[in-house]
Amino acid sequence: MNVLLVYAHPEPRSLNGSLRDFSVKRLEDAGHVVQVSDLYAMKWKASLDAHDSTDRQTDMPFDPSLDSKHAFENGTQSKDIALEQEKLLWADAVILQFPMWWFSMPAILKGWVERVYANGFAYGVGEHSDAHWGDRYGEGAMAGKRAMLIVTTGGWESHYSPRGINGPIDDILFPIQHGVLYYPGFDVLPPFVIYRTSRTDETRFAKIRDALGQREAQHRGEDDPEPDRRDRGVEQQKAPVIEREAAADGQGHQPE
């Protein structure tokens, strides 16, 4: 199996760096082929802008969606974007690994999504009519591939429980799992979340590593992905609505 690990942490000697190295070795020892997109090491350009196309007419206003579509269809995307798209098409499974910063992914990873997910590649594909609004949510270019998040956070697990002060972790990760992964077609596996990262010693790291190894076995097809919103009885073409119990006395806004 081909596995793409998209990694977003600036320090290779961090907990994230150790988990990345473990994942690569574990997957390769199991016979899989792994590519790593280490975004900080690559000095990935995060901002989507007019420079993402090599043949853009400078006298025209920049339109992020239409310019993206033109560049993709005409082979005039910047080389870094095209290379990451090739990796996505090559991969059978994709892992996004990142620390949770301000309740989301680091900006460099968000920028990877915005630039690599070109119009005509990850969205804007398929029939668009009154009856069908494109191939999306389980359809599209990534259909048949699996994806999983590996996320670290400094907060306590109880703070991300259904009534935790930070809100349920499933709600916080919903835009990434549903929008970034399921929208272009991935089968989304449950996330692997590590809490209270500052309290990780050698003993705890060994337990985390063993648990991660078991979870990554899901990429070999041993477990089922998360049920999608159609499986939960939500109509595909309607705008998503998240219902949750009220969190206790407000939300935290600390970086983690």
Whole-number pLDDT of residue 223: 52
Those residues whose C-beta lies under 8 Å from the C-beta of residue 89, and which sit 6 or more positions away, are: 141
Q: For 2-23, how does the pLDDT look when each residue is reduced to its tens digit (9 = 90+)?
A: 999 999 999 999 999 999 999 9
Mean pLDDT of the chain: 85
**Domain of residue 100, residue span:** 2-220
pTM: 0.83
Domain contains 242: no
Domain contains 240: no
Whole-number pLDDT of residue 130: 86
Q: Is the pLDDT of residue 184 over 70?
A: yes
Distance CA 87, CA 102 (A): 28
In order of 15, 120, 204, the CA distances from 191 in angstroms are 17, 28, 19
Q: Averaged over 23-39, what is the pLDDT?
A: 94
User: Pick the residue with more confidence: 168 or 218?
Assistant: 168
Domain contains 246: no
The candidate with the shortest Cα–Cα distance to 193, out of 167, 218, 175, 173, is 173
Domain contains 71: yes
Number of domains in the chain: 1
Q: For 95-143, how does the pLDDT look when each residue is reduced to its tens digit (9 = 90+)?
A: 999 999 999 999 999 999 999 999 999 999 888 888 888 889 998 999 9
Q: Is the pLDDT of residue 246 over 50?
A: no
The CATH number given to whatever domain includes residue 142 is: 3.40.50.360
Domain contains 173: yes
| SS3 per-residue string spanning the chain | CEEEEEECCCCCCCHHHHHHHHHHHHHHHCCCEEEEEECCCCCCCCCCCHHHECCCCCCCCCCHHHHHHHHHHHCCECHHHHHHHHHHHHCCEEEEEEECECCECCHHHHHHHHHHCCECCCECCCCECCCCECCCCCCCCCCCCEEEEEEECCCCHHHHCCCCCCCCHHHHHHHHHHHHHHCCCCEECCCEEECCHHHCCHHHHHHHHHHHHHHHHHHHCCCCCCCCCCCCCCCCCCCCCCCCCCCCCCCCCCCC
Domain contains 80: yes
Domain contains 199: yes
Q: Which residue is associated with the tokens 């983690």?
A: 256
Domain contains 97: yes
